């Protein structure tokens, strides 16, 4: 079953804040987008907001369909 698409929206940030997030993301080998999502999840968890676990991203080729008529 495919995960629902992520919600996209524009976000305006102070350039210094963006630069700090960019450095933090590079240090953790993440994209800026993934880092923002991670930081938001951490902040919400600190406040006691419960979230469903993120759906893992499937990478690579899709599995081959088996041919049962061999």
CB neighbour list of residue 13: distance below 8 Å, 6 or more residues apart: 21
Confidence of residue 64 (pLDDT cuts 50, 70, 90): confident
Has residue 2 been placed in a domain? no
Q: Over the range 23-46, which residues count as b (16 or more CB within 10 Å of their CB) and which as e?
A: eebeeeeeeeeebbeeeeeeeeee
Confidence of residue 67 (pLDDT cuts 50, 70, 90): low
Higher pLDDT residue, 13 or 65? 13
Has residue 21 been placed in a domain? yes
Q: Which domain holds residue 19?
A: 15-46
Percent of the chain topping pLDDT 70: 89
The length of the chain in residues reads 70
pLDDT at 11 over 90: yes
Higher pLDDT residue, 51 or 27? 27
For residue 2, the model assigns a pLDDT of 64
Element (H, E) at 16: helix 15-27
Q: Distance (Å, rounded) from C-alpha 14 to C-alpha 7?
A: 22
Has residue 54 been placed in a domain? no
């Amino acid at each position: 079953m495919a995960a629902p698409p992520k919600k996209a929206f524009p976000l305006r940030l102070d350039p210094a804040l963006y630069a700090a997030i960019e450095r933090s993301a590079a240090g953790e080998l993440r994209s800026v987008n993934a880092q923002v999502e991670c930081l938001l999840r951490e902040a919400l968890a600190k406040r006691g907001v419960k979230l469903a676990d993120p759906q893992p991203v499937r990478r690579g080729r899709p599995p081959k369909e088996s041919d049962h008529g061999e």
